[in-house]
Amino acid sequence: MTTAEFLAHLERHRDRRLAFGAGDAGVAPGYHVTEIKVTTVHAVDCGGRSTQWNETTVQLWSPGAAHRGELMAVPKFLDIYDRVGRLVPIDDHARVRVEYGAPGEPAIAYVVTDVVTREGDVLDVRLAAPAVACKARDRSVGDVPLVDATAPALERSGAVLAVVDEGCCGQSGAVHVASGSRVSACCG
């Protein structure tokens, strides 16, 4: 989801509060926005293809589930975003991510996959963990493949969505692209 699409959802639902979650795990109420990062990623995949994209990352901090805080109101979030946007140029077409880790856990820069209204006055921001895939093998996965959040935790490494072919890198260090052609590559 792009930054503009994300903000459009929020603008349509200014009367709601924001909940963030990936699968069954959610960010505990009482969270606050600690940072909004704007980054440009320059990458070369193992097939030798150079790509570039922009990302907007909203970092959340939560005091934990034991804290009895409230979910943030959409207008408060939009106010924070507007203040940041006055100081830092934000690309509306950039992918939007939410970086979060429960207290004592590593932070993950989740991909925002959807924003849906929930019963009551809550707007759910649905997140998916990024995964690793051989991009030279399957361009349809894109730059940010997602982990299936419904897969059991120990099996998630094998639950990448839309993986096509197991035999990406050959012994000669060449990549077998989904079309069957071979290109020079750095994997091996």
Band of residue 158 on the pLDDT scale cut at 50, 70, 90: very low
Tokens 């030279």 -> residue: 136
Number of structural domains, the chain?
1
Locate the DSSP E strands across 15-164: 17-22, 25-26, 32-44, 50-61, 72-73, 95-100, 108-118, 122-128
* Per-residue model confidence as pLDDT tens digits over 46-93: 888 888 899 999 999 988 777 878 999 999 999 999 999 999 999 999
* Per-residue model confidence as pLDDT tens digits over 120-135: 899 999 999 888 877 7
pLDDT at 132: 80
pLDDT at 51: 85
Our CA angle for 163, 167, 170, nearest 5°, is: 140
* Residue 26 domain boundaries: 3-184
pTM above 0.85, yes or no: no
Question: Residue 5 is encoded by which pair of tokens?
Answer: 């699409």
pLDDT at 138: 62
